[in-house]
Amino acid sequence: MSGNAVEVRNVSKTFRVYHDRNQSIKATVLKGGRAKYEEFWALRDVSLDVQQGETFGLLGLNGSGKSTLLKCIAGILQPNTGTVASRGRMAAMLEVGSGFHPELTGRENIYLNAAILGMSDSEVDRKLDSMIEFAGVERFIDHPVKNYSSGMYVRLGFAVAIHTEPDLMLVDEVLAVGDKDFQAKCLQKFDDLKAEGKTVVVVSHSMGTMRTFCDRAAWLENGELQAVGTASDIVDRYTGEAERPVDLGDGIKRFGSGEVQFTDIELLREDGTPLDAVDPTRPVTVRLSFLAHEPIERPDFAISIRDAQQTAVFNITGHDREWLPERLPAGHGSVDIRIASLPVRAGGYHVVADVRAEGAEIPADKVWGAKRFGVNHGGHSTSGGTLYLPSGFESLRSGDDTATGTLRLMPS
Amino acid sequence: MSATAEPARSRSRRITLNLLKNLTLREIRSEYKRTMLGRVWSLINPLAQIAIYGLVFGLLFRAQPEPGINSGLHIFALWLGVGIVTWGFINIGIREAMQSFLGYQGLLKKVALPRWTLPASKVLARAATYLTEIAVVAVICGVLGGWEILLRIWMLVPLIALTTVFIYGVGLVLAIGIVYFRDIEHFWGILTQVFFYASGIMIPRNVIETVQVETLDAGGYTFLGGPVPLLALFEANPIYQFLTAYRRVLYDFAFPEWQTLLSLTLWAAGTLIVGLFVYSRYQARIVEEL
């Protein structure tokens, strides 16, 4: 299994759904067998590979089997048929703080929780300070954890789990713990793991997390594998499928309840003339023209500018800017969004436009790919990166006998 | 390949033992948390039990065991003490092992770990408590009966080991069983009461013998065509045998009879084998049944 951290082969898993869950001997004797049940297929013939060093997302609605699959990989559940193979040290973060005892101190619980996750005491001895610091509970480490705030409790659990330094990490929705600072710290730690070539398998409902965090993803529905591919592709297909957009041809897709519909999307220069190639140093205005078939209250306009990989390089919504007109009456109209400059690297981009009544689940109209445009700046191109920044090389000095700076990075 | 497989296995064994140690410490540490007297309670508890049962059965019912063989001890409360403390170990040990998978269900649903360590940690924590309790009883026996107790006290080591294995074997079967049939817990509660009297904790063997000879045999009662085998049943009970063995060491200052030791070894090995068989066969599915 060279190159693969996890191999899932034809895995099926059924659960028994009891009609009359009656765990008693009497019922067993009377009914001649245990209580009546139905088989529920949580996973049906799922096969996939997770490569060494990649971050892999599992996507799907509640009950689609993604958590079951994660538990099968973790070894908590055993598949009815098929095999799951993984290699390297594995840590499953399906819950943080597993096995914490409320009466024991933070320190005692660290050793306990670490042992449950497969660490030895000597390993904990070495990492103890780092864990405590990561969790930010220095002052309370010798207090019973029942006195901890829920945030401290979760942070301590997370700190222990992340310090197992696994080769393969399974994560179930625990990225959403703690306050903003702590989340940033966690994401940083995950990035470190990725940089070290560790494998991460994550279940998340957050499409944003999936798109930016994962390299590849799999999409499950009713226990069956729908697709495996790059994370942004899968997220697009998943969100697209969930919303069932209409394909208008030419790569343009539309979805919405239809009270308002976009009639055109244009990019304009400062003087109001349309353009198709954007200079990253110049201002640009996005004009959304629309027809309101019915009036809607407090319309929330939004655009997202995406690159060829479907990564959003720029988002703006009326809600974020608190720009919500009271009412959009029936009839034609347009809205301009002024962008002082769009300093992104040369390449092809497109605009996704969205309008909906404030807080509505379903947009009145959402259009993908209706405006495609290029960005370039007089032959200035970069071989990577995200941004265009006016920049250049300057003044080379060489052949000197003495150094200009310190020799901090030279081994002495 | 085999060069890397071997360290991996010894590493995973070390990890598992470390887990067992930490789980056991969790039980021991949390038992007397938030009490003022702390571990002193594990000394007070057996003393209080000995006093209560000694008063009730020694004074009111006037039960009398045979005097200790080498020690010459003739103190009912001490004879009772050995039994009551050992019974507590066996009874509570089995019950806690039985409830371990249910009690740890939150953990079992979220973490993959060697599940047998959970009942094992409960039994080991109980064994640790038992060590202090039996030490208290042994000290009293020594003070009252003489230094000769030291000659054979080492016999406690294999005895406690056998008891622990026996408790673990029974507890493991019940721990798995209770996940599938919750009734077992209540059924076991009744069975425990039966065994409390059937294990000779405060009923000396000579009382049973008297009943066997004077009432059953003399009265001509029959069971399936033969005489009622009350005494034989009483003596076949492994818990009675355990209690007898401990009393031989601590009350009589003598070695247990070799037949008793052989029987206890077989009981311990038998329950362990059955326990491990049931465990290996049914443990994979318990997470779904919890």
Q: What are the φ and ψ backbone dihedral angles of A188, each rounded to 5 degrees? A: -60, -45
Q: For residue A349, what is the enclosing H or E element?
A: strand A347-357
CB B263 within 8 A of CB B85: no
Chain B contact for A115, CB < 8 A?
yes
Size of interface A-B (CB pairs under 8 A): 88
CB B250 within 8 A of CB B243: no
Touching B: A residues 154-193, CB under 8 Å: none
Residue A266's closest CA among A292, A284, A288? A288
Q: Which amino acid is at B247?
A: R
- Mutate which: B1, B18, B118, vs A, most A CBs within 10 A: B18
| Closest CB from B18, B180, B285 relative to A115 | B18
Distance from CA of A25 to the nearest CA of B (A): 6
User: Which residues are CB-contacts of B223 (< 8 A; sequence separation ≥ 6)?
Assistant: B229
Q: Residue A408 has which token pair?
A: 């901090």
- How far from the centroid of its chain's Cα atoms is residue A283's Cα? 31
> What are the CA-CA distances from residue B271 to residues A226, B95, B156, B163, B268 (Å)?
49, 15, 20, 11, 5
Chain B contact for A119, CB < 8 A?
yes
Task: Answer yes or no: do A116 and B14 touch at CB < 8 A.
Answer: no
| Common-topology check for domains A4-91+216-229 and A92-212 | yes
| Closest CB from B19, B33, B108 relative to A103 | B33
Task: Answer yes or no: do B284 and A99 touch at CB < 8 A.
Answer: no
- Mutate which: A23, A101, A107, vs B, most B CBs within 10 A: A23
> What are the CA-CA distances from residue A371 to residues A298, A305, A338, A363 (Å)?
25, 10, 16, 19
Q: For residue A6, what is the enclosing H or E element?
A: strand A4-18
Distance from CA of A362 to the nearest CA of B (A): 35
User: Which residues are CB-contacts of B21 (< 8 A; sequence separation ≥ 6)?
Assistant: A115, A121
Interface predicted TM-score of the whole assembly (ipTM), two decimals: 0.81
DSSP state of A88: S
Q: Where are the beta strands (DSSP E) in A162-238?
A: 168-172, 199-203, 216-221, 224-230
Contacts A112 to B, Cβ<8 Å: 22-23, 25-26
DSSP state of A105: B
Residue A189's closest CA among A166, A173, A205, A207? A166
CB A205 within 8 A of CB A215: no
Q: Per residue of chain A (412 residues), what is the pLDDT tens digit? A: 457 889 999 889 888 777 665 556 666 666 555 556 777 888 888 998 998 888 898 888 777 888 889 999 988 888 888 989 888 888 877 877 777 888 888 998 999 888 988 888 899 999 999 999 988 888 899 998 888 888 888 888 888 888 888 888 888 875 566 677 777 888 788 888 888 888 989 887 767 677 778 889 998 888 888 888 888 788 877 776 555 667 777 878 888 878 899 999 999 988 888 888 888 888 999 999 999 988 888 899 999 999 887 788 898 988 888 888 988 888 999 999 999 988 888 888 999 999 988 877 778 888 988 888 988 877 666 677 788 888 888 888 888 887 777 788 887 6
Residue A287's closest CA among A235, A239, A343, A332? A332
B16 burial (CB, 10 Å; 0-12 / 13-18 / 19+) is middle
CB A290 within 8 A of CB A355: yes
A77-104 in b/e burial notation, b at 16+ Cβ within 10 A? bebeebebebeebbbbbbbbbbbbbeeb
Contacts A104 to B, Cβ<8 Å: 26, 29-30, 33
What was the pLDDT predicted at A242? 54
Contacts A99 to B, Cβ<8 Å: 26, 104, 107, 111
| Closest CB from A92, A103, A120 relative to B15 | A120
Distance from CA of A109 to the nearest CA of B (A): 8
A220 burial (CB, 10 Å; 0-12 / 13-18 / 19+) is buried
B164-200 in b/e burial notation, b at 16+ Cβ within 10 A? bbbbbbbbbbbbbbbbbbebbeeebeeeeeebeebbb
CB A82 within 8 A of CB A105: no
Contacts B25 to A, Cβ<8 Å: 108, 111-112
| Closest CB from B19, B182, B289 relative to A115 | B19
Q: Residue B26 has which token pair?
A: 């969790």
Homologous superfamily (CATH) of A4-91+216-229 is P-loop containing nucleotide triphosphate hydrolases (3.40.50.300)
Chain B contact for A94, CB < 8 A?
yes
Q: Which amino acid is at A239?
A: T
Q: Per residue of chain B (290 residues), what is the pLDDT tens digit? A: 344 445 677 878 888 898 899 899 888 888 777 777 777 887 888 788 888 877 887 777 776 777 777 777 888 888 888 998 999 999 999 999 999 999 888 888 888 888 999 999 999 999 999 998 899 889 888 888 888 888 888 999 999 999 999 999 999 999 999 998 888 999 999 999 999 988 888 888 888 888 888 888 787 777 777 778 888 888 899 999 999 999 999 988 888 999 999 999 999 999 999 999 999 999 888 888 87
Residue-range domain boundaries for chain A: 4-91+216-229, 92-212, 247-375
- How far from the centroid of its chain's Cα atoms is residue A209's Cα? 2
- Mutate which: A21, A41, A76, A123, vs B, most B CBs within 10 A: A76
Q: Does domain A247-375 have CATH number 2.70.50.60?
A: yes
**CATH topology for A92-212?**
Rossmann fold (3.40.50)
